[in-house]
Amino acid sequence: MESLMTNQLTLGYGDNVIIDELDIQIPKGEITVFIGSNGCGKSTLLRSMARLLQPKSGEVVLDGNGIAKMNTREVAKQMAILPQSPSSPEGLTVYQLVKLGRYPHQGWLKKWTEDDETAVEKALIDTNMHELKDRPVDELSGGQRQRAWIAMTLSQNTEIIFLDEPTTYLDMTHQIEVLDLLFELNEKDNRTIVMVLHDLNLACRYADHVIALKDKKVYASGKPEEIVSCDLVYNVFGMNCDVTYDPLFGTPMTIPHGRGRCILAQAAAEKSGMQNNCVTENKVKTAL
């Protein structure tokens, strides 16, 4: 049973409608990734589902209740969001940052409890940040800083976690490190994770469920191996590609068509009389 869904959700800024009458369901206990071209509304949709953006019409429903009518603190106990490129005050330590995730569980009269401390310690351990808890966040590497923010999100102790481009500005090693961490958290704690990712191959590798957005609507949704094809990539991103299988994971892997060094390789091959396998034709082929 889905715990989170939208009902005829319409989003926008001013007179500009970005998402129009959208009906989607987020599978409980799975990793869902929003994909689509720049400006298609992925981050807007994510922010609205986390109740950071008021819809023009329609609603986001959590366990049968419209979140707009729910108490803010109660929503924050069930859903946490890590926005894109968050920033912290200068000098704030990792431990102090992670403690902020316990804010929804505090009140005017409620003091810091053993449960709060346990949640913070667990978040630090789960993200391998415990040894760095006394370091200022602004002195950390990009990957360490992102793990610190994820630790803060985890200390909120919610069943649903939203992340807007959690791998932004990270190098390849740290991208995999962060996504592996989220995968492990989903696998170990059965948390529902909803992310925006630009890298389609990483989305296919880590997602149980993919939602592709185009023209204010859902173009396709389902398991990556069921929906990701050359046709989808061309229609959603406007890019010709081949789609094959990731040799390590068996998930769909897109190989974009383009020029780059291909023309040079083709010329060298022709000069030597050898066959060149570069793709130069603008056609869509489906390998899956």
Q: For position 48, what pLDDT does the model report?
A: 96
Q: For position 130, what pLDDT does the model report?
A: 96
Q: Which residue has the tokens 């803010």?
A: 72
Mean pLDDT of 209-219: 97
- Out of 101-115, 143-157, 225-239, pick the least confident: 101-115
Q: Give the CA distances from residue 233 to residues 38, 39, 45, in Å, rounded to whole numbers and listed in that order.
A: 13, 16, 20
* Amino acid of residue 104: P
SS3 at position 257: coil
Does the structure show a pLDDT above 60 at 112? yes
Q: For position 170, what pLDDT does the model report?
A: 86
On whether the CB atoms of residues 89 and 234 are closer than 8 A, the answer is no
DSSP per position, 67-135: GGGS-HHHHHTTEEEE-SS----TT-BHHHHHHGGGGGG--SSPPP-HHHHHHHHHHHHHTT-GGGTTS
Does the structure show a pLDDT above 70 at 154? yes
All structural domains of the chain, each given as residue ranges with its CATH number in brackets, are: 4-276 (3.40.50.300)
SS3 at position 12: strand
Question: Within the chain, what is the greatest distance between any pair of CA atoms?
Answer: 82
Mean pLDDT of 190-196: 96
- Out of 75-79, 108-112, 117-121, 250-254, pick the least confident: 108-112
- pLDDT-based confidence at residue 86 (cuts at 50, 70, 90): confident
Paired residues of 163 in beta bridges: 82, 195
Considering only residues 143 and 29, tell me which one the structure prediction assigns the higher pLDDT: 29
Mean pLDDT of 58-78: 92
- pLDDT-based confidence at residue 142 (cuts at 50, 70, 90): confident
The pairing of beta strand 79-82 with beta strand 160-164: parallel
Mean pLDDT over the full length of the chain: 89
Q: For position 84, what pLDDT does the model report?
A: 87
Q: For position 267, what pLDDT does the model report?
A: 67
Does the structure show a pLDDT above 90 at 1? no
pLDDT digits (tens, 9 = 90+) for 47-64: 999 999 999 999 999 999
Residue 125: count of CB within 10 angstroms of its CB: 13
Mean pLDDT of 105-112: 72
Q: Which residue has the tokens 């992925």?
A: 42
Residues 6+ apart with CB under 8 A from 209: 26, 27, 30, 31, 32, 33, 221, 222, 223
Angle at 193 between CA 191 and CA 194, to 5 degrees: 160
Give the whole-angstrom CA distance, residue 245 versus residue 35: 19
Considering only residues 150 and 281, tell me which one the structure prediction assigns the higher pLDDT: 150
Considering only residues 104 and 225, tell me which one the structure prediction assigns the higher pLDDT: 225
Q: For position 106, what pLDDT does the model report?
A: 75
